[in-house]
Amino acid sequence: MYFEKTNGFPKDFLWGAASAAYQVEGAWDEDGKGVSVWDTFVRIPGKTFKATTGDKAVDHYHRYKEDVRLMAEMGLKTYRFSIAWTRIIPDGNGEINEKGLAFYSNLIDECLKYGIVPMVTVYHWDLPQALQDQYGGWENRRIVDDFVRYAKTLFENFGDRVKYWIIINEQNVFTGHGWLMASHPPGKAGDYKTFYQVNHHAFMAHAKSVLALKELWPDAKVGSSFAYGPSYAVTNKPEDAMAKYDYDDLQNFYWMDIYAYGRYPRAAVAYQLSRGIAPVMEEGDEEILKEAASKVDFMGVNYYQTTSVEYNPVDGVDGMGKMNTTGKKGTTEISGVAGMYRNPKNTNLPTTDWDWTIDPMGLRYACREITSRYDLPIVISENGLGAFDKVEDGQIHDPYRIAYLKEHVKELRKACDDGCRVLAYCTWSWSDVLSWLNGYQKRYGFVYIDREEDENSGTLNRIPKDSYYWYKTVIASNGAEGLDD
C-alpha cells in the first residue's frame, strides 16, 4: 500500500529490547539453580565457538539493577526477558526454589519502579538437565505436565505484575537445531519423526499454559514467539511458486497455524503421513489446541531475515546445511528438502558477516502476511544485527547497527499504516549477550559488555554505544525523530 503521509506509531506503543536468561545471567550454579541442558551441552568439545559457556555470561544476575537503570535512562518502555526453569524448579519437577522466585520478583519490581513493562518469556531453551535424564525431556509426553506446572508457578507468583507473557521462544529453532541439525541439545541429526513429535509436545505445553494463564489472569496478554523468515519464490516459474508453498507449510505456517488456529496445515499433515513421520496425538489434543488458539492475544515474531525458495529436484540437496558460526562470510551451505524446495542465496540483498540477509522490507512483509492470514496483533519480540563491534577511545561507534535498525523501524511504521496492529518492538538485544553458538564475538546490543572471547577476561563494565543514544531519541519521540534524518 502507498500512503502519502504516515500515521506513525500508536500512542501506547511499547519500544523495547530483549534478552534470554542463559545468555545474560551467568551465576549458573548459584542460589540453588539447577543444571540446564545448555550448561551440559556447551561442555561438549566443538559445540560452541571457542568453547564459550554461559557460566558467567554478562553477569546480569548480579548487575540487574545497574542494567535496568541504564534501560530507564534510555527510556525503554518494555523489557522482554526469560526466566530460567532451573532457577525456579532446579530439577524440573521437584521442589520450588524460593531464591529463584525472589530474583525474578526483584527484577520485575525493578522494571516497574522505572515504568518499564516486564514482558516475560516462560521458556527460552534452558530445559532442566534432570528432565532430559529422567525421561528424555521434550521427547516424552511427560514434559507437558512438568512444563505447565512450571508455567503456573510463574503465573501465580508474578501474574499480578506481569501482563505480557510469551510462552515459548522460537520453538522452530530449538527443535530444528536439536533434532535435525545436532547443533543444540540434545544434539540429534535428521530425526524427523522425533522432531515432529517433540514439536507436538511443545505445542501442547504452549496450549495448556495459555489456558492456565487465562484461568488465573483473564486480562493477561499471551502468545508465543516464532522465528519467522518470510519466503520469496526465486522466479515466476510455477514450480518455484509451488516450492514456496511447500516451504511455507513446513517451515512457517506449521507453527503459526497452531498458535492462531489450533490446527496443522493439511498439506503438511499429508506429507508427514506419506513419510510415516506424523506425530502421535492423544484424544482431546485437537480440542485443547483450538481452545488455546481462541485465547491467544498476539503473534510473537522474531524477525532477522527472509528466505529465497526454488524448486529442488528429487536428486537435489537434502538436509539443513552447515551454518556460519564464525563470522566468515560465505560459509553457510544451501539447505533444502529433495523433491520440494531449496534455499539459495538471495543475490538482491546484502548479508551480515554471518550470511543472514539484510531485508528491512521483509519485516513489513511478515506483518502483512500475519495480519492477512491470522488477523492477530503482533509483538516483534526480536530484531537486530549481530556484528563485530570495537572500542575506540572508550566509545563504540556502530553506525551499521543504527542503519540496520532505522530501516527496519521505518518498514514497521509502514506496516502500521497498512493496518497491522503492532503492539511492541523489542530489539535483540539490550546489551551484548552470549550468542548460543557464536560466543561473545557476535555482538547485538545497545550496551557494550567488556568481555572477550574466552571465559575469564574483561571487566564486564557496561558502555552505551552510539546506537543506545539513537534509540533513546526514537523512543522519546515515539518514532517521530531519528528515522527520516
DSSP-assigned beta bridge partners for residue 117: 78
Nearest CA-CA partner of 398 in 465, 324, 343: 465
pLDDT tens-digit readout, 59-74: 999 999 999 999 999 9
List C-alpha distances in Å: 157 to 104, 247, 303, 427, 468.
10, 41, 31, 27, 32
Per annotation, catalytic residue among 110, 369, 382, 411: 382
Spatial separation of the C-alpha atoms in residues 21 and 123, rounded to whole Å? 9
pLDDT over 80 at 485, yes or no: no
Average pLDDT over residues 70-91: 98
CB 23 within 8 A of CB 434: yes
Could you tell me which of 248, 242, 288 has the C-alpha nearest to residue 268? 248
Give 286's pLDDT tier (boundaries 50, 70, 90): very high
Instruction: Give 466: exposed, middle or buried? Use CB within 10 Å, 0-12, 13-18, 19+.
Output: middle
Average the pLDDT over 13-39 and give the result. Answer: 97
Mean pLDDT of 329-350: 90
Edge-first strand order for the sheet with 336-337 is: 231-233, 307-311, 341-342, 336-337
What's the pLDDT at 330?
Answer: 83
Check if the beta carbon of residue 82 is closer than 8 Å to that of residue 153: no
Rounded Cα distance, 145 and 413, in Å: 40
pTM of the prediction? Answer: 0.95
Segment 163-217, tens digit of pLDDT? 999 999 999 999 999 999 999 999 999 899 999 999 999 999 999 999 999 999 9
Catalytic choice (25, 110, 139, 170): 170
Over residues 299-327, the pLDDT tens digits come to 999 999 999 999 999 998 887 777 777 78
Q: Which of 378, 381, 448, 384 is nearest to 419 (CA)?
A: 378
* Rounded mean pLDDT, 233-251: 97
**pLDDT tens digits, 96-144:** 999 999 999 999 999 999 999 999 999 999 999 999 999 999 999 999 9
135-159 pLDDT per residue, tens: 999 999 999 999 999 999 999 999 9
Percent of the chain past pLDDT 90, that is, above it, reads: 87
170 catalytic? Reply is: yes
Average pLDDT along the chain: 95
